[in-house]
């Protein structure tokens, strides 16, 4: 679970009698004890999403796999990885090389039927759809993707996965 810097301020409660009636479940005077004034961290599972747009495959799949494997399990739990491949441009050897890496498992693939052209609006449209699909798949009451990192298939990792988690 990722802890954010947001805090909830609590105040001391004075109780006049332990048998006082409660007006609502959130009424602080109904508690049979007092709470000290302290900063309590708000608990939210904030996730970061790393989205790969692979126009022609991931050129450094093994390097990205090492980047993922070097992280702790709690760091890996704080990051969602998804990728998209333009099937019209990617040869089967590139896809085969990616399939050997768990970070590029088939269950992480987003299927968006768009043919892209470099420098064309179709690339923006794929990114927009990737963000929307990932948010739809992963956001829930306990998980919220707070930051999306858009990565090209030709990029290499220069920051550790823990950095991505801290940014969320």
| Residue 68: predicted pLDDT | 92
Helix (H) / strand (E) element for 42: namely strand 39-43
Give every strand in the sheet of 79-85, ordered side by side. 79-85, 45-54, 143-152
Q: What is the pLDDT of residue 65?
A: 92
* 138: confidence class by pLDDT, cuts 50, 70, 90: confident
Q: What is the pLDDT of residues 83-106, one digit of tens each?
A: 888 776 666 666 666 767 888 888
Which class for 82: exposed (0-12), middle (13-18), buried (19 or more C-beta within 10 A)?
buried
- Judge whether 139 and 168 are in contact, CB under 8 Å: no
Question: Average pLDDT for residues 30-51, to the nearest whole number?
Answer: 59
Residue 30's pLDDT is what?
54
Split at pLDDT 50, 70, 90, the class of 107 is confident
Rg (CA), the chain: 23
Q: Which helix (H) or strand (E) holds 139?
A: none
Rounded to an integer, the average pLDDT of 57-86 is 88
What is the mean pLDDT of the segment spanning 5-20? 44
| Residue (of 59, 111, 50) closest to 85 by Cα position | 111
Range name among 8-12, 70-74, 149-153 with the lowest pLDDT average: 8-12
In the structure, what pLDDT confidence band is assigned to residue 70 with cuts at 50, 70 and 90?
A: very high
Q: What tens digit of pLDDT does each residue of 140-157 get?
A: 767 788 889 999 888 999
The whole-number pLDDT of residue 26 equals 45
Instruction: Reduce the DSSP state of residue 95 to 3 states and report it.
Output: helix
Counting beta carbons within 10 angstroms of the beta carbon of residue 98, is it exposed (0 to 12), middle (13 to 18) or buried (19 or more)?
buried
Mean pLDDT of all residues belonging to the chain: 74
Across the range 157-161, mean pLDDT stands at: 91
Predicted pLDDT of residue 45 = 77
CA distance linking residue 72 with residue 152, whole number of Å: 24
pLDDT recorded at residue 66: 93
Given phi > 0 = left and psi -120 to 50 = alpha, else beta, which region is 138? alpha
Element (H, E) at 20: none
């Amino acid at each position: 679970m990722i802890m954010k810097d947001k805090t909830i301020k609590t105040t001391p409660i004075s109780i006049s009698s332990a048998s006082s009636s409660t007006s609502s479940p959130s009424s602080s005077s109904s508690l049979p004890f007092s709470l000290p004034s302290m900063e309590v961290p708000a608990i939210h599972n904030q996730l970061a999403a790393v989205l790969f747009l692979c126009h022609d495959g991931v050129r450094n799949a093994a390097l990205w796999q090492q980047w993922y494997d070097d992280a702790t399990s709690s760091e890996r739990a704080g990051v969602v990885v998804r990728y998209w491949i333009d099937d019209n441009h990617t040869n089967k050897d590139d896809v085969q090389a990616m399939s050997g890496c768990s970070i590029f498992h088939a269950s992480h693939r987003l299927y968006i039927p768009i043919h892209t052209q470099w420098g064309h609006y179709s690339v923006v449209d794929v990114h927009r759809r990737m963000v929307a699909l990932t948010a739809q798949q992963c956001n829930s009451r306990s998980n919220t993707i707070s930051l999306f990192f858009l990565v090209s298939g030709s990029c290499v990792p220069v920051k550790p996965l823990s950095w991505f988690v801290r940014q969320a």
